[in-house]
Structure 1
Amino acid sequence: MNPPGYPAEAFPLQGVRHDGLPAQPAGSTAIQFTTVNITTAPPSDHIIWSLCCFVYSNPFCLGLAALIYSIKARDRKVAGDPEGARHYGATARCLNIVSTILVVITTLISLITIITIAILTS
């Protein structure tokens, strides 16, 4: 809603209150600026998870590959390339997930097999 006498394209946004009266005394040329700081989370490199997968569960060398991608992600983050760091970090995360799932499935199958053999032989 525009005050009387002001067309829509000529409505001043600074220095006028909602009722059309000047907000500051005449002759004042103060300009207000708004600064918005957007902080994004730094990309994750999953280095600890990759180290655990490399040391404890390394099926098909997936833990080693995850560790290499984690180190690349950390290098990209230090170099100031957040997109590259996100890419390498996401690859490291996927490799860690696959490695962890393979180890869990292998462990469960081994336990079930050992328990089944123990029950059948006794």
Structure 2
Amino acid sequence: MNSEGYPSDSVPLQGRYEGFYGQPGVSTVVQCISVSVPPEPPSDHIIWSLCCFLYSNPFCLGLAALIYSIKARDRKVVGDMEGARHYGSTARCLNISATVLVSIMILIFIITFTTVTVLIKQAVQRSNYNYNYNYRG
């Protein structure tokens, strides 16, 4: 990235910098090197989509996310980074939705299972108490 007004060539400096270790009396030349770093390619979230498809596929959201991830990867291979970014973003949203839905369903299952287990245990204890109370042997 070049700032406005500064070329990316080398810029010779006149004079000598006192804090710079070098030969005395020799002018110092500083080269500015500009490095162009390409932007990071858009992510296609294929691993997350595979996990959502295999382990948690509520309302076929995992399958849809997998399809969009594959489309994003195809676009990235072709060189269409904007299309890959769009499909990758859609795949990410679908993966988030699938993960949240499955997490909520697991939480509801745990709460329901715990509640039913406690209620059955209380009912068994009451029936044993009543059985022992009414038993006259």
Normalised TM-score (structure 2): 0.64
Report 1 or 2 for greater relative contact order, CA contacts < 8 Å, sequence distance ≥ 6: 1
Tell me the amino acid that sits aligned with residue 59 of structure 1: P
Q: What does residue 72 of structure 1 align with?
A: 71
Alpha-carbon shift at residue 115 of structure 1 (Å): 0.5
Percent identical residues: 66
The runs of 5 or more residues in structure 1 that have no matched partner are 1-13, 20-31
Alpha-carbon shift at residue 38 of structure 1 (Å): 2.8
Which runs of structure 1 show a deviation greater than 3 angstroms over 4 or more consecutive aligned residues?
14-19, 32-36
Alpha-carbon shift at residue 97 of structure 1 (Å): 0.4
- Distance in 2, matches of 1:59 and 1:37, equals 44
In angstroms, what is the RMSD of aligned CA positions? 2.5
- The answer on whether the counterparts of 2:11 and 2:32 sit within 8 Å (CA) in structure 1 is no
The runs of 5 or more residues in structure 2 that have no matched partner are 1-9, 16-30, 122-137
Normalised TM-score (structure 1): 0.72
Mapping 1:1-122, distance limit 5 Å? 35-122=34-121
Relative distance call for 1:15 and 1:60 in structure 2 (3 A) is closer
Task: Look up the SS of the partner of 2:53 in the other structure.
Answer: helix
The count of corresponding residues between Structure 1 and Structure 2 is: 100
User: Per-residue displacement from partner, 1:21-56 (whole Å, max 9, x unpaired)?
Assistant: xxxxxxxxxxx9964413211110000000000010
Tell me the amino acid that sits aligned with residue 44 of structure 2: D
